[in-house]
Amino acid sequence: MDDLADVDLVVEAIAEELDIKTALFENLDEICRPGAILATTTSSLPVVDLASVTSRPGDVVGLHFFNPAPVMKLVEVVDTVATSPDVVATARSVVSRIGKVGVHCGDRAGFIVNALLFPYLNDAIKMAEGNYATTDDIDTAMKVGCGYPMGPFELLDVVGLDVSLAIQQTLYREFREPGFAPAPWLEHLVTAGYTGRKAGRGFRSYA
Question: Rounded to whole angstroms, what are the CA distances from 189 to 18, 98, 160, 162, 197?
Answer: 22, 37, 11, 9, 13
Residue of 21, 64, 92, 100 marked catalytic: 64
DSSP H helices, 62-112, are: 85-97
* H or E element that contains 75: strand 74-79
Burial class (CB in 10 A: 0-12, 13-18, 19+), 76: buried
Cβ pair 41, 63 in contact under 8 A:
yes
Residue 64 annotated in active site = yes
| Radius of gyration, alpha carbons of the chain | 18
Residues found in the chain:
207
- Sequence-distant (6+) residues with CB within 8 A of 158 are 150, 196, 197
Residues designated as active site: 64
